[in-house]
Structure formats: structure tokens, C-alpha cells
Structure 1
């Protein structure tokens, strides 16, 4: 297993059932602020919410490894080691979901539950891989992520009713280092299909989709929910790609229901 980068940034709140939340591209753990506040509960003992910045984003170093989501999944396992956690519920949104599925494949015995939001288990088609390569090359050549803002990435990630959140999301996009953006794009382009991995998941799972998600259609969520042996599918009306930001209360309700199922399953 690879080593964690020398600098690792983690946000944490609460005690109780460990819940690790993995952020979307090209954001940071700052996107989970509502969940860090709400999910532990009034007494703070309902869940131990851990939200790491993934490689290169936020306050976490990029390291020297070649781009791979498997490497990021191993980072999560090392993070659990450091936190003294044997098994955790793992939740990921978009890119975070890709990492969560890689973790489910590489560290299945450490998974207590799985939450997949606005993500997909299928591999990128050729056109998507080509576009990722274009973005990676451009941000490195310019040493700037301005391209992502010029192409209105933030607006494209949000549903029509959530455009008032553009400034917040753009702030996180603008803070992403070019090297991290390029590394993550190349890692995502190389990921395999993991529907077969989901078929082998033997813990409670939840799948969340946004009815207005313009990046990943609801049909992808349906494929994942069908593949998982014990999954509940929730489609959030009026919500785009960033469900945890756009509809935090609805997202949190799904997460809490999953935590209840995990506790009941022992």
C-alpha cells in the first residue's frame, strides 16, 4: 500500500458510528460543512463524521504516485488506521464515489456501509476520457484552473434551482491546484467499470441521484442500486450533481437512514 502524503487535511466532528465522506472533483472537504454540523446529532454521539481532503486538494499533499483512484482508496484505509477505526461507513459523491467503489474492491473487510451519491460504476466512454486528458493538459500548461471557471463547471454541477450556490462552488473550484486537477482527471479517466464490485458488497448501501443531474443520469444510479445486494435508491427532485450541497437536509436523511441500517445489521 502506498504511503499517505506528508500533509493530510481532515475535518472531523462527533462520535459514534464512523462515517467517512469523500468529496467531489475538483472541490475539497469544505463541501461537507452541512454534514459535519448535522450528522453527529444534537448530542454529537450519533456519528463520527470524517471528511478528508483527497490527494492534492484542500490541505492534503499530492504525493509522487502515478494517477490512480486505487491509490486514493488506499489513502482512506491508511486514514482509518491512523484514526484507530477498523470498519467505517464510506460515502462518496461523484469522484468521491469512484474512490469509495475502489475502496470496496481493495478493502472490503473494512466497509460497514456504502453511500454512493451522484456517481456511476461504469467506466468513461472514449469521448469523456479524451475530454479529461484535454483538461489535464490545459491546466498544467497554463498553471491555472481558470479553464474550469471559464467552462462554467460550477454552474454545470448545480441544478437549475441551485444556481444561487454558484459563487460558493466556484470558490472551491478556484482553490484547486492545477497539478491536483490534472492528476485527478487522469485517475478518473483510467478507472474501470465496477458494477461487479458492487455485486459483491455485503453491507447496507444507499444510492442517491439528483433528478436534474446534468452530468450523471439517474439511470446510472439505477444500475448501481440493482447491482448492490442491499441498497436503497433515493432520487432527489429538483437537485443537480452536488446533492449534499444543494439539498443537505434530504441528503442527510439518506445518510442517517443508512447509519441506522448499519447499526441494526451489527
Structure 2
């Protein structure tokens, strides 16, 4: 499996540019694929959109893998990207030879969390996302110690997104099922990464996933919050490369 590529799926409400701080260090050792998910970045929403669901985002990824003639990949995702990875495992587990789950969780939203997502989706569609979305999210995305340039980058990435894509992702996340049943039966090497100060998908949620997975390793990134690939890219890259060299090299 040494020649498997690594597909990394970005968080909400971002696009593949969130992986730029890791790109050079990862591509020196691994074939890296980082698509924009539907409605975000350069990937538009389809003209005909059904009731939002992450299974459709997973099918988008399967179509990309087919186009690239990739039968099997190591699949990774941060936050929303992790949810999409688990949605793909539900419909096509044979396409996944390894898994990287970063700052995400396997449990479904609580009723309150789902309601909050739906309210935010309505506001994004009615008002756009300028200013208020980034302001409301930033305190939970980065630690108090995050450098100013990282904060600016996160804000810029959020504010560059399409309100319709933001709304679609929110509704799809609100509707997602619990995925512990998918993880429990997964027999591939898995790396679980979480920021020590992540309040959205905290270390205990990461440990629950690692405990459910038959073949997993857990790495907690000291001093970082929910967006470890942006706040602590070196530590995340080191964790992935070290795990990769032990499990997929040679």
C-alpha cells in the first residue's frame, strides 16, 4: 500500500487552501490530493440540489476518485472533512485503505447544535456571510495564542466562501447520522489528531473515535484548538508523516 495517495478534505467553512501550510512537507513524501467540497472554494453547488446530505458530498469524492482512476486511497478530513470521510465509509468502504481524522467527531449533532446550524444557514442565505460569520466562529476555531497572521488567514478563508455553499454545508452537517457503527467495523490503519484546546470536537471525542477503531493511533496537539492544520501545521504534518512511514512505507 506504499503507493496509496492521501486525500485530505477541508473543514467548514473553508476550502482546500487550508492545507497549504502542510502541503510542502506532505508532498515531499506522499502524493497529496486536496479537493474543494461542493459549494465551497472553486467547486460550485450542483444546479439541482436535493435535501442537503453528506452522502452527496461523499459521492462527489467517489466521482473524483473514479476520474483519477484511484481504486483505493488513504482518506483524511478535518471537521466537516471528517464527517464526509465517514459518509464515504458508509457507502464505499472498499475505497479506503487508511483513515486520518483531524478535529472531528463520530457522533451526530445534539438537537440544539443542529438547530443552531439551521438558524445560521438561514442567516447566511438571507444576509450573506460578510463579517458576522467569521466573528462568530473565530473564538472557537483558534486558541488565544494563535498568531495574528493565522487569524487573518482564517478570516479571509471564511469570508471568501459562497453563502449558498455555507448554508448547504450547515444543513448537511445538521442532518448527519452517528457514525460509530462505521468506525467499529473499519479494519484499516487510522490516525486520529485533535487540538488539546479544541472545544468544538474536544479530545474526549477524539479518544472515543480512537477507542472505537480497531487499529488506531491518537495524537493530541498541545496548545492548539479546532483548526490544528492552520494553527499547528508542523505538528500535524509531523504526526501524519510519522504515522505514514510506520504504516505505509517500505
Question: If the length of structure 1 is used for normalisation, what is the TM-score?
Answer: 0.88
| d(CA) in 2 for partners of 1:70, 1:17 | 23
Please point out which of 153, 158, 164 is paired with 1:173: 158
Please point out which of 206, 210, 214 is paired with 2:195: 210
| d(CA) in 1 for partners of 2:234, 2:186 | 27
| d(CA) in 1 for partners of 2:18, 2:153 | 9
Please point out which of 122, 137, 143 is paired with 1:159: 143
**Alpha-carbon spacing, 1:37–1:88, altered in 2? closer, same or farther (3 Å):** same
1:97 and 2:87 equivalent? no
Q: Partner of 1:227 in structure 2?
A: 212
Decide which moves more: 117-126 or 155-164: 155-164
Please point out which of 16, 26, 50 is paired with 1:39: 26
Aligned-partner SS, 2:104: coil
1:17 and 2:9 equivalent? no
Q: Partner of 1:241 in structure 2?
A: 226
| d(CA) in 1 for partners of 2:202, 2:53 | 24
**Alpha-carbon spacing, 1:163–1:156, altered in 2? closer, same or farther (3 Å):** farther
1:126 and 2:111 equivalent? yes
- TM-superposed deviation, 1:159: 1.3
1:79-130 deviation per Cα after TM superposition (whole angstroms, max 9, x unaligned): 1111111110011000000001111111110101000010000010011011
1:86 and 2:71 equivalent? yes
1:56 and 2:39 equivalent? yes
Q: Is contact 1:23–1:92 with CA below 8 Å preserved after alignment?
A: yes
Instruction: Name the structure, 1 or 2, with higher relative contact order (CA <8 Å, separation 6+).
Output: 2
Aligned-partner SS, 1:161: coil
- TM-superposed deviation, 1:16: 4.5
**Alpha-carbon spacing, 1:148–1:233, altered in 2? closer, same or farther (3 Å):** same
- TM-superposed deviation, 1:149: 2.5
Q: Partner of 1:10 in structure 2?
A: none
| d(CA) in 2 for partners of 1:95, 1:117 | 10
Question: If the length of structure 2 is used for normalisation, what is the TM-score?
Answer: 0.94
Please point out which of 183, 203, 208 is paired with 1:198: 183
- TM-superposed deviation, 1:163: 4.6
Unaligned runs of 5+ in 2: none
| d(CA) in 2 for partners of 1:105, 1:128 | 23
Aligned pair count reads: 246
- TM-superposed deviation, 1:145: 4.3
